[in-house]
Structure 1
Amino acid sequence: MKKKFTLFMTTLIVMSSTLYAQTPLKEYEAGHVFHIGLPEYMGKTIGLNNSATIQYKSEVKDVYGFVIEDNKEELKLAELNYSSINEFYEGFIKDFLTDEDDRIISQPLYKKNGDINFVESDVTYYDKEAKINIYYLVGIVETKSAYYKVLSWSAAENKDKFKADFQKIIYSLKD
Structure 2
Amino acid sequence: MKKIITLLLITLLSATAVAQTKMKPYKAGHVFDISLPDYMNKTVGLNEDSAIEYESEVKELYGFVIYDLKEDLKLVELNFNSAKEFYDGFMKDFLKEDEKKSISDPVSKKINDITVIETDVHTFDKEANMEIYYLIGVVETKKAFYKVLSWSAKENKDKFKGDFQKILYSIKD
Same fold, TM-score > 0.5, yes or no: yes
The corresponding residue for 1:67 is 65
- CA–CA separation in structure 2 for the residues paired with 1:44 and 1:16: 48
Q: TM-score, normalised by structure 1?
A: 0.90
Q: Name the CA distance, whole Å, in 2 between partners of 1:153 and 1:32.
A: 25
Q: Is the 8 A contact 1:101 1:127 kept in 2?
A: no
Q: Where does structure 2 lack aligned partners over 5 or more consecutive residues? A: none
Aligned to 1:170: 168
1:77 is matched with 75
Secondary structure at the aligned position of 1:174 is classed as coil
Give 2:121's match in structure 1, choosing from 120, 123, 141.
Answer: 123
- 1:31-110 mapped onto 2 (5 Å cutoff): 31-110=29-108
Q: TM-score, normalised by structure 2?
A: 0.91
Q: C-alpha distance in 2, partners of 1:43/1:148?
A: 20
How many residues are matched? 173
Quick one: distance in 2 between partners of 1:132 and 1:96?
18
Distance 1:30 1:104 in 2: 39
1:15 CA displacement = 9.2
AA paired with 1:165? D
How many Å separate the matches in 2 of 1:12 and 1:23? 18
Q: Secondary structure at the match of 2:100?
A: strand
Q: Which amino acid in 1 is paired with 2:153?
A: A
Partner of 1:150: 148
* Distance across 1 between alignment mates of 2:133 and 2:159: 11
Over aligned residues, Cα RMSD in angstroms? Answer: 2.1
Secondary structure of 2:67's aligned partner: strand
Q: CA deviation at 1:167?
A: 0.2
Looking at structure 2, the residues matched to 14 and 42 of structure 1 have their Cα atoms a distance apart, in angstroms, of: 57
Residue identity over aligned pairs, in percent, reads: 60
Q: In 2, distance between residues paired with 1:12 and 1:98?
A: 64
Secondary structure of the 1:158 match is helix
Given that residues 89 and 140 in structure 1 are in contact (C-alpha distance below 8 angstroms), is that contact kept between their aligned partners in structure 2? yes
